[in-house]
Chains A and B, each alone.
Chain A
Amino acid sequence: MKKTVQDIENIRTQTKLSMKNIRIMVCAGTGCTSSKSQKIINNISKILKEKNAEGISVEKTGCFGFCAKGPIVVIDPMEIFYEQVKPEDANEIVEATLNNKVVERLMAKENDKFVERWHELNFYNKQKRIALKNCGYINPENIDEYIAVDGYKALEKVLLEYSQDDVVKIISDSGLRGRGGAGFPTGKKWLFAKQVEGNIKYVCCNADEGDPGAFMDRSILEGDPHSVLEAMAIAGYTIGAKQGYIYIRAEYPIAVHRLKIAIKQAKDYGLLGKNILGTGFDFDIELRLGAGAFVCGEETALMNSIEGKRGEPNPRPPYPAVKGLFAKPTLLNNVETYANVPKIILNGSKWYSSIGTETSKGTKVFALGGNINNVGLVEVPMGVTLREIVEDIGGGIPGGRKFKAAQIGGPSGGCIPDSLIDTKIDYESLASINSMMGSGGLIVMDDSKCMVNLAKFFLEFTVDESCGKCPPCRIGTKRMLEILTRITEGNGKEGDVELLEELASSIKKASLCGLGQTAPNPILSTIRYFRDEYEAHIKYKKCPAGECKKLMNVHIDPEKCKQCGICKKTCPVNAISGEVRQGPFKINPEICIKCGACIEKCPFKAISK
């Protein structure tokens, strides 16, 4: 049923009270769901029923970010943190909670002490959660809980108290910049879209999140979908649009499901639809599914895809603010950008602009992955250093290996080598070392990773995803990939590095959209910081990191070989010859496929590459 402002306030007060009860919050993000968190929820809920446990409930919630230790269960309001929980642990958790006790076995330990509340974990120490504020606190499938944490209050405030210009001013003053990659000032974008004349305008949300290894937007949508809906309605009011579209990847079924629920609930309450909160403002939101094309994250391609066409980009200008979706003025922002908006409206632009650096305000969410202990989702104030993220939050590199580089900004970004690990994470500092903020993928690599091979990996991605419309991107990236391939296979020629640099510079200049314009970045940055590694492949036919298979030579150290014959039995292609106790075994490099199986199996560590 449609609600009035007073109804919403009542729901807020009531739900706030009920949320003070003991709640067992189970992470139901994609990561924890694939390690059986739904089963945990089912088990707990069954046991609670059997025991007739009054005043205790079990709720699904959004990502806590600490995916490395998932599935995660938190007991609120005490915030007791349990990690790596299994469905079988349900009984013990319920028992302990009923008796005001804790299950020590499942608690995290740091410096030999149990961590009592989840915020006290080192992992959260340097984080500041604004966009992710509600993830882990509320049940994303229940609009009442969102309302209880001051949800839809910003929309109410905007509709009742602010003019369109007021909103533009608040967003501009806050210093918020687009989180989708380019970092364009959000207030300015809203102003342009507002100023353009037009009866029909659209608000779009970019939830295509194509950067492989990034899942910030997915986690926001899974954990707090209403914050994005609320922000889009605010944007609609500000620019004069009545219709919004969310373009989301079909590969995110949980996020799609939660968005559908959220849109339905908001419509039922009259927070979307006609005459919102009795103010005469109409705004509706529809979902559109992407179908697995990276280039559709580019704004003009995205709009083509919503229109039911091939997702190819168009030249700009005209910019979407002038001629966007269905040829109408359109405002497009990223999920995380929107997630910040309600909090800025409620707390004021001064509050937001007090966080971060001179030119980069607020926080940024990163998906931390690769060779790092605490794989997961982190939100940090702009201006922290990469070292703080890797060492303090990420908990360092596993397996006693060394930090080699971090790739930030995915296939359009660049790598940051060990020597620059103290670089500040903000738009300008990253640009000054030829990297970029990107959308939030942050992949850490240890010293076993070959940087030439990494560049090749990203190029394979862009070649695959290039839409083919413009020749520099379609043909140029292919030629670069060929050169990289021959380098990693030991067929590199003198002058290849210079050729790559030359190609890169023309592709950057001549490509139609951001995909081609940024595709050479991973190559340029690896050449810049790891030129010697390229040289070693080309001149000496050696891969210093030992990753490029074609350049690898597996050999048995005759001194260490105890002539046991285990390697010979292990070899899948019979490349090893010799007889037990008849002298050291030998590998025939012509037959060897460099699978490394014998290296693993040799009890005397006599085999190496």
Chain B
Amino acid sequence: MKRCKGCNGYSVDDKMVKIANKYKGVKGGIMGALHEVQDEYGYISEINQKYLSDKLGVPLSEIYGIITFYSRFSLMPKGKYNIQACMGTACYVKGAEAVIKAFKDNLNIDVGQVTEDGLFSLESVRCIGACGLAPAIVINEDVYGKVTPDMVPNIIDTYRKKEATK
């Protein structure tokens, strides 16, 4: 645990210290640092923003500006299983809207929201480059191709079951 001077005694973990050290002094390093924080924690917390601001010498307001500009960075945690439904042109033409709607109805959340149990979140994303399999969705690392609305309950169930057996 490392204490950051002048930040009223909050602390960050060792991984954060490592990330900050790696990008200290790198030209334009803040982008790289934010990518790593996002990958590590699934979002970029206020404390971690403050810490990066201190360490890399970038004003907090600027960091906040960067995070909110790029859609890959988020200020809030995502669900354990993050469902990314592709809304690229190829997927759109092959019926991605209906697939998203099926997820919304089934999970009872809107795009950009997390289910109450924190298990699922739903995002609509730009082309994921699997246009050959349109419409495509990605759940964490798994890619599903040629998805139809009636496949959706089954897909969600696989993850629910996975959780139940844990």
When the two chains form their complex, are residues A289 and B31 in contact, meaning their CB atoms are under 8 A apart? yes
Is the CB of A326 closer than 8 A to any CB of chain B?
Answer: yes
Contact (A218, B129) CB under 8 Å given A289-B35, A292-B72: yes
Is the CB of A288 closer than 8 A to any CB of chain B?
Answer: yes
Q: Write out, one digit per residue, whether chain A residues 212-237 have a CB within 8 A of any chain B CB (1) or not (0).
A: 11110010000000000000000000
Q: Write out, one digit per residue, whether chain B residues 126-163 have a CB within 8 A of any chain A CB (1) or not (0).
A: 11111111101000000101000000000000000000
Give, as a whole number of angstroms, the nearest-CB distance from B18 to chain A: 18
Give, as a whole number of angstroms, the nearest-CB distance from A85 to chain B: 15
19 pairs of residues in contact across A and B, judged by CB atoms under 8 Å = A34-B143, A212-B87, A212-B90, A218-B129, A250-B35, A252-B129, A291-B31, A292-B125, A305-B31, A306-B28, A308-B29, A309-B28, A309-B62, A310-B66, A367-B90, A370-B90, A375-B131, A441-B89, A457-B92
Q: Write out, one digit per residue, whether chain A residues 55-78 have a CB within 8 A of any chain B CB (1) or not (0).
A: 000000000000110100000000
A292-B125, A307-B27 given; name 17 further pairs at CB < 8 Å: A30-B129, A31-B130, A34-B143, A210-B126, A211-B127, A250-B35, A251-B125, A289-B31, A290-B70, A294-B126, A308-B66, A369-B90, A371-B93, A410-B89, A441-B89, A445-B93, A449-B93
Q: Which A positions have Cβ atoms within 8 angstroms of B? A: 30-31, 33-35, 67-68, 70, 210-215, 218, 250-252, 288-294, 305-312, 326, 367, 369-371, 375-376, 407, 410, 441, 443, 445, 449, 457, 461, 467
When the two chains form their complex, are residues A30 and B35 in contact, meaning their CB atoms are under 8 A apart? no
In Å, the complex CA distance between A457 and B133 comes to 20
Contact (A369, B89) CB under 8 Å given A34-B145, A213-B131: yes
Choose from B28, B71, B94, B134 the contact partner of A293 (Cβ within 8 Å).
Answer: B71
Q: Which residues 78-125 of B have a CB within 8 angstroms of A?
A: 87-94, 125
Which B residues lie within 8 Å of A214 (CB)? Answer: 127
Who on chain A is nearest to B127 by CB?
A212
Give, as a whole number of angstroms, the nearest-CB distance from B42 to chain A: 14
Q: Write out, one digit per residue, whether chain B residues 23-39 have a CB within 8 A of any chain A CB (1) or not (0).
A: 00001111110110000
Contact (A375, B132) CB under 8 Å given A291-B73, A309-B66: yes
Which A residues lie within 8 Å of B71 (CB)? Answer: 291-293
Which A residues lie within 8 Å of B129 (CB)? Answer: 30-31, 215, 218, 251-252
In Å, the complex CA distance between A35 and B136 comes to 11
Which A residues lie within 8 Å of B6 (CB)? Answer: none
When the two chains form their complex, are residues A293 and B89 in contact, meaning their CB atoms are under 8 A apart? no
Is the CB of B65 closer than 8 A to any CB of chain A?
Answer: yes
Most buried by B among A212, A288, A309, A370: A212
In Å, the complex CA distance between A326 and B26 comes to 13
In Å, the complex CA distance between A369 and B130 comes to 10
Which A residues lie within 8 Å of B72 (CB)? Answer: 250-251, 291-292
Give, as a whole number of angstroms, the nearest-CB distance from A297 to chain B: 11
When the two chains form their complex, are residues B88 and A375 in contact, meaning their CB atoms are under 8 A apart? no
Choose from B28, B91, B131, B143 the contact partner of A308 (Cβ within 8 Å).
Answer: B28
Which B residues lie within 8 Å of A291 (CB)? Answer: 31, 34-35, 70-73
Choose from A292, A375, A449 the contact partner of B134 (Cβ within 8 Å).
Answer: A375
Which B residues lie within 8 Å of A212 (CB)? Answer: 87-90, 92, 126-127
When the two chains form their complex, are residues A67 and B30 in contact, meaning their CB atoms are under 8 A apart? no
Who on chain A is nearest to B128 by CB?
A251
In Å, the complex CA distance between A367 and B132 comes to 9
Choose from A34, A68, A211 the contact partner of B130 (Cβ within 8 Å).
Answer: A34
When the two chains form their complex, are residues B89 and A213 in contact, meaning their CB atoms are under 8 A apart? yes
In Å, the complex CA distance between A377 and B15 comes to 41
Give, as a whole number of angstroms, the nearest-CB distance from B81 to chain A: 17
Which B residues lie within 8 Å of A252 (CB)? Answer: 129
When the two chains form their complex, are residues A311 and B132 in contact, meaning their CB atoms are under 8 A apart? no
In Å, the complex CA distance between A152 and B148 comes to 46
In Å, the complex CA distance between A58 and B46 comes to 48
Which B residues lie within 8 Å of A371 (CB)? Answer: 93-94
Which B residues lie within 8 Å of A467 (CB)? Answer: 69
When the two chains form their complex, are residues A251 and B126 in contact, meaning their CB atoms are under 8 A apart? yes
In Å, the complex CA distance between A445 and B30 comes to 42
Who on chain B is nearest to A407 by CB?
B89
Contact (A70, B132) CB under 8 Å given A289-B31, A291-B72: yes
In Å, the complex CA distance between A434 and B137 comes to 34
In Å, the complex CA distance between A15 and B115 comes to 54
In Å, the complex CA distance between A461 and B34 comes to 25
Which A residues lie within 8 Å of B47 (CB)? Answer: none
Give, as a whole number of angstroms, the nearest-CB distance from A116 to chain B: 24
When the two chains form their complex, are residues B93 and A31 in contact, meaning their CB atoms are under 8 A apart? no
In Å, the complex CA distance between A4 and B133 comes to 45
Give, as a whole number of angstroms, the nearest-CB distance from A314 to chain B: 15
In Å, the complex CA distance between A31 and B129 comes to 7
Choose from B32, B94, B131 the contact partner of A289 (Cβ within 8 Å).
Answer: B32
Who on chain A is nearest to B136 by CB?
A34
Is the CB of B7 closer than 8 A to any CB of chain A?
Answer: no
In Å, the complex CA distance between A35 and B134 comes to 12
Give, as a whole number of angstroms, the nearest-CB distance from A94 to chain B: 26
Is the CB of B75 closer than 8 A to any CB of chain A?
Answer: no
Is the CB of B12 closer than 8 A to any CB of chain A?
Answer: no
In Å, the complex CA distance between A211 and B131 comes to 12
Which B residues lie within 8 Å of A309 (CB)? Answer: 28, 62, 66
Most buried by B among A31, A308, A410: A308
In Å, the complex CA distance between A214 and B88 comes to 9
